[in-house]
Amino acid sequence: MKLKKIDIFEIEKDSNFAPRVLLLSIPPAVVFICLVEFGFLAPFDAILSYIFIILCNMVFLSPMTLELQHLKKYINRLAMGEEIENMNLSEQEAKGIAEAVNSMHRFWMAKTDALEAEAMSDAAVLDTLPDPVLMIDRSGNILGANLAARKLFDDNLTDQNIGDVFVSQHFITAAQKVLNKQSESENLIFYTEPTKQKIYAHIKSLPWFSKGRAVAVVSLYDLTKAAKIEKLQSDFVANASHELRTPLSVIAGFIETLQTTAKNDDAAREQFLAIMAEQAAFMSDLIENLLSLSKIELSQDTPPQDKTDMNKIILEVMDALQIKANARHINLIFEKPTRLKKITADSAQMKQLMQNLIDNAVKYAVSGSDVLIRINTVDTIPASKSFHVADGKALSVSVNNKGPKIESQELSRLTERFYRLQEHKNLGIKGTGLGLAIAKQIIMRHRGNLTVSSSNKNGTTFTVYLPLKR
């Protein structure tokens, strides 16, 4: 049989090895004392024999003590979560203990893996939910939050108290009722700060048999978009009904005339049909602009992602308006730097923005004059009194025409819906009054700004500022 090498000096001081050896040596010591006392054994021989017994006890106890010591270290390392191989021991008793520990370790590792997989699966399911969900304990501390909740409030929601996250005192009071078991559930509507989002909250206590620290679940529903859609619908109906009333009455009047007094008047029929076609085109443009405005307003909370080449977009718009410009003998001029960075913007909306601005410049310019489009990079975007603009560098696009001066009191009203200058109405220039309102909504979505200046000498200049990055 192969003997295992034992090093007594490897034994730790707190292993109680010495007390055990001395305890096992007490019975032989009592026997040797009795033998010496009755003269059966000489004192010197008794001492030598006792020392021999102590050494034998040390030799027999050392392997078990060392292996128990190693087993203790092994268990401590497992408890700390270290990845280690199973332990191999030589003593049969220690082997049995080690095997039991290894079996328990394998069981709990499998159990832990299963629990982690289940927890990850539950978290993944919660993260796919479009509405924010929070789990809170009896003290109001947030134990967990899904992706929608982290986006609405903060990435580090866990361990924060609802009193620090929610500004609404009505929400905190409702939550405390549920946490204090004064109510099974609470429902309320509140507004967030500083975004002023309209939120519907449902706070529900968990059943008594549920495990874990969580005692209630908070489900939040963003009503902002629904309220915005409802307002857009009512605004659309109100605006459309108001603005369509006049052209519809004109068309109805001409139809009645054609059916009665001008029934056989070929000249009147051609004249009336031309006017009716013009009114129908106006209504079509009006409805298209209203729908476009509603669509842009619905996308206000969605940041643009496209990498947009404004140089390319302006050239495309100029090509599309060239025939219209030629008809009025307008010269379109584009001044741009040699190298121009792309911006993060909605390409379709950028095209619509430039279409509206350049089309207006051509429409209201003096016949035979120039329309000048300039594009440059600026360090900052001018601040706005009514909405927040982005920080950092921006692209400025200015569109200048040599039309009549616009008075200062009218400049601020140009982006109002359906607002049109009386002078343009007197000149018979057709328009829906929605082009600049659409331009403003596009610029607001991109956190840019729009400035307007007008003078007798330089005409009117619309300057759009768009951030280079979001």
Mean pLDDT: which of 16-20, 80-84, 395-399 is highest? Answer: 395-399
Which pLDDT belongs to residue 236? 65
The label of the residue with tokens 């497992």 reads 78
- pLDDT band per the 50, 70, 90 thresholds, residue 49: confident
Q: Which pTM value belongs to this model?
A: 0.52
Assess whether pLDDT exceeds 90 at residue 465.
Answer: yes
The label of the residue with tokens 């059966």 reads 40
For residue 59, give the amino acid letter: V
Calculate what percentage of the chain has a pLDDT beyond 70. 80
- pLDDT band per the 50, 70, 90 thresholds, residue 3: very low
Assess whether pLDDT exceeds 80 at residue 334.
Answer: yes
User: Is the bond leading into 194 cis (omega within 30 degrees of zero)?
Assistant: yes
Q: Is 385 helix (H, G, I), strand (E, B) or coil?
A: coil
What does pLDDT average to over the chain?
Answer: 79
Which pLDDT belongs to residue 2? 40
* Mean pLDDT calculated for residue range 136-140: 88
Largest CA distance in the chain: 160
Which pLDDT belongs to residue 397? 92
For residue 349, give the amino acid letter: Q
Assess whether pLDDT exceeds 50 at residue 107.
Answer: yes
- Which DSSP symbol is given to 166? -
**Rounded-to-integer distance, Cα 294 and Cα 233, Å:** 8
**Rounded-to-integer distance, Cα 449 and Cα 464, Å:** 6
> Which of 153, 143, 134, 150 lies closest to 204, judged by CA?
134
* Mean pLDDT calculated for residue range 112-119: 67
Of 131-135, 318-322, 427-431, the one with minimum mean pLDDT is 427-431
Which pLDDT belongs to residue 4? 45
Contact 228, 298 (CB under 8 A): yes
> For 168-216, what is each residue's pLDDT tens digit?
888 888 888 988 888 888 898 888 776 677 888 898 888 876 667 788 8
Which residues share a beta bridge with 102? Answer: none
Q: Is 320 helix (H, G, I), strand (E, B) or coil?
A: helix
Which pLDDT belongs to residue 239? 65
Assess whether pLDDT exceeds 90 at residue 372.
Answer: yes
DSSP one-letter string for 192-260: -TTT--EEEEEEEEPPTT--SS--EEEEEEE-HHHHHHHHHHHHHHHHHHHHHHHHHHHHHHHHHHHHT
Walk me through the domains of the chain, giving residue ranges and CATH numbers.
Answer: 8-106 (no CATH), 129-222 (3.30.450.20), 236-298 (1.10.287.130), 304-470 (3.30.565.10)
> Which of 420, 313, 411, 296 lies closest to 364, judged by CA?
420
CB atoms within 10 A of CB 269: 15
Which pLDDT belongs to residue 1? 35
